[in-house]
Structure 1
Amino acid sequence: MMQITDSYNQKKSLFNAMNRFIGAVNNMDQTVMVPSLLRDVPLDDCAELRELRRAAADNAAPAYFRDGDMYSSYVLLKSIRNDIEWGVLQGEKPGGTGGTGVELEEEDDLEKQFHFHLSGLHAVLSKLTRKANTLTNRYKEEIGIRGCGN
């Protein structure tokens, strides 16, 4: 028998966050029938998109996430979805200095690092999911289906 706390914890799981994000991007992809209509449509016409943009600027996100039109966000969200579904190419380790003392320190702190990155990934996926949902609603507004945020 499942307890209430199990249900709450499942909602907060990384697996569910990834599924929500992938679902939101799939919905966006199915809704946006003509992606070229998104070109030159500014992101900040909707309050939620302005908030996401402000949060991205505060976190020193790359320019393609902070600025641009809805088309660049559409392409970015689809790219991230593909990376989650298909994986990313493994490059060199960041900061590859090769110092064994640093590597031993990092191994001692693996659990702390894991929780830090898990929390960060969950937060980013939540923001990206909101961004995909908002972009979908904004597209619907642009083509006259319904108002922003509905």
Structure 2
Amino acid sequence: MQSAEPKNQKSCLVATLSRYTSAVRNMEHTIMLPSLLRDVPQEEPEDSFAAEGNNKDLYEYFLMLKSVRNVVESGLMPPDERKALSVPLETLEDSDPETLFHFHLTGLFSVLNNLTTSSHMLTRRYKEVIGLSN
């Protein structure tokens, strides 16, 4: 089934994050008693994270999806996750999806902060070149 969204919008970060938060919100509204998911194993072989041997039950998976959604919506990284960049990527290959998400999100924040700093520097230098420096 093809989506009505244009292909370029599917790869848009904001649209992807919006689809994710919407899906998790729908999951929360549908699952009225999450505790019923305790001790229910993941059985879908097409789920790459389930197939990798993560032994989480569906309740833990439910909580993880909500936790990631909270980070996406708030834009704030938990303080203990900010040290994730010091961990080599090779050691994260077998990690659970939440750990991988925090690792890559930390990297994305770092790159965007560096690009923002560079943008401010370039703007300041341009103003100096044309004589508008403060």
> What's the TM-score once normalised by structure 1's chain length?
0.47
The answer to whether the aligner puts 1:29 opposite 2:18 as a matched pair is: no
Structure 1 residue 12, shift from structure 2 partner = 1.0
Counterpart mapping for 1:1-150 below 5 A: 7-44=6-43, 46-49=44-47, 51-54=48-51, 57=52, 66-86=54-74, 87-90=76-79, 91-92=82-83, 94-95=85-86
Structure 1 residue 9, shift from structure 2 partner = 1.1
Structure 1 residue 92, shift from structure 2 partner = 4.3
Which whole-Å deviations, capped at 9, do the CAs of 1:94-136 have from their partners, x for residues lacking one? Answer: 339xxxxxxxxxxxxxxxxxxxx67xxxxxxxxxxxxxxxxxx
- Higher relative contact order structure (alpha carbons within 8 Å, sequence separation ≥ 6): 1
**RMSD of aligned Cα (Å):** 2.7
Counterpart Cα distance in 2 of 1:78 and 1:89: 14
Aligned residues with identical type, % of pairs: 35
Which of structures 1 and 2 has the bigger CA Rg? 2
- C-alpha change, 1:76 and 1:92, in structure 2 (3 Å) is closer
- C-alpha change, 1:92 and 1:20, in structure 2 (3 Å) is same
- Runs of 4+ displaced beyond 3 Å: 46-49, 89-93
Aligned length: 82
> What's the TM-score once normalised by structure 2's chain length?
0.52
Query: What residue identity is the alignment partner of 1:53?
Result: A
